[in-house]
Amino acid sequence: MKKPLFIFTIISLLMNQSFAQTNVVEIIQWKYCTAKYDCDIQSPQGDLSGNVTFRMQKDSIVWFSVSAIMGIQILKGIITKDSAHVLDVYNQKYYPLSLSDLSSMQELPADLSAIQALIVGNSPTNSLIQYDSTKPNEFIGATPPYLSYGLTIDNNMVSTSRFSDKGKMKRLKISYLDRLTDKEVKLPNQMEWEIQDMKSDLNSLRLKLSLKTARFDSIPSYPFSVPNDYERVSIQKN
């Protein structure tokens, strides 16, 4: 398996903005979230099916695990306000990096709150403007000069988020196909994450996520440790 570049791309294609209730989109309220998804990953290197699990405390931590179809863990990571740590379990490699370094590498800010917003289906910014009066559900994020951000809203909820970096070389589109209606938090029930890299198709991929279970009570632990025999790998700026 190749290096987990899609994890770093997703983390870095986000903006350093706070978000709050706006008059155009409902903000999902939550404190803790544990969610498990069936996942299909399509990439030039090959397709992979399995599951993804998130454990999150709002504005504090994201813990994630990616497993193959037989339950074999292949990726594991933890993201805090200032750093990200990823284990490539399949290849026994460890990737430590600060979010500020990642921001510099991608010429984009990276922010924990924005990452969490996209996972639960919120808008990662309250700086939204309507750019076309003939498209009342379409907005753009006012966040120059870093990236362009587009938002589609249906029934006061985010249905699509679209990003591109400053040079328009990387693009991210997230579609929230439907929402839970029988839970206290309206998590997306189906999501599609499409990453397009204009420099290399090898770094482009699509993730399809289908929610299996979700709960919102306090999370006792976020287990993460680096085995002694793992190779430590530094991600260098291109």
What are the structural domain ranges in the chain? 5-16+23-214
Residue 15: band (very low, low, confident or very high) from pLDDT cuts 50, 70, 90:
very low
Dist CA 132 CA 7 (whole Å): 33
pLDDT of 20 > 50? The answer is no
Using a pLDDT cut of 90, give the percent of the chain over it.
Answer: 39
Is 219 in contact with 32 (CB distance < 8 Å)? yes
What pLDDT score was predicted for residue 132? 74
Computed over every residue of the chain, the mean pLDDT equals 81
Q: What is the DSSP string of 102-169?
A: HHHHHTS---HHHHHHHHHT--S-S-EE---TT-TTEEEE--TTT-EEEEEEETTEEEEEEEE-TTS-
Dist CA 56 CA 112 (whole Å): 10
Dist CA 78 CA 61 (whole Å): 7
pTM tops 0.85: no
Q: What is the pLDDT of residues 31-67, one digit of tens each?
A: 999 999 999 988 877 888 999 999 999 999 999 999 9
pLDDT of 122 > 50? The answer is yes
Can you read off the two tokens belonging to residue 202? 């090898």
Q: Report which of 81, 44, 85 is spatially closest to residue 64, judged by C-alpha positions.
A: 85
pLDDT of 236 > 60? The answer is yes
What pLDDT score was predicted for residue 237? 55
Annotation: CATH topology of 5-16+23-214: outer membrane lipoprotein receptor (LolB), chain A (2.50.20)
Judged by average pLDDT, the poorest of 52-61, 91-100, 134-143, 187-196 is: 134-143
